[in-house]
Amino acid sequence: MIYKETFWMACDSTEQLRAEYGPFHTRAEAEREAGKLGFDYILRYEHVIGENDDIKEVRCIFIELQPQRSLPLVPTKLHTRCASCGESAVHELSWQAEVWADIHEFEHSRHRVRLFEHRGEGLKEIAGWRDLCA
Span 21-38, pLDDT tens digits: 989 999 999 999 998 888
Q: Would you state the pLDDT for residue 106?
A: 92
Is the whole-model pTM more than 0.75?
no
Q: What is the pLDDT of residue 123?
A: 83
pLDDT tens-digit series, residues 64-116: 998 765 555 556 788 999 999 999 999 988 888 889 999 999 999 899 999 98
Distances (CA, A) of 38 to 19, 28, 67, 94, 125: 11, 15, 10, 18, 18
- For residue 134, pLDDT beyond 60: no
Give the mean pLDDT of 123-130.
80
Residue environment code for 54-82, b if the CB has 16+ CB neighbours within 10 A, otherwise e = eeeeeeeeeeeeeeeeeeeeeeeebbbbb
Residue 69 has a pLDDT of 54
Please report, to the nearest 10 degrees, the dihedral formed by the alpha carbons of residues 7, 69, 37, 32 taken in order: -40
Q: In this predicted structure, what is the pLDDT of residue 8?
A: 94
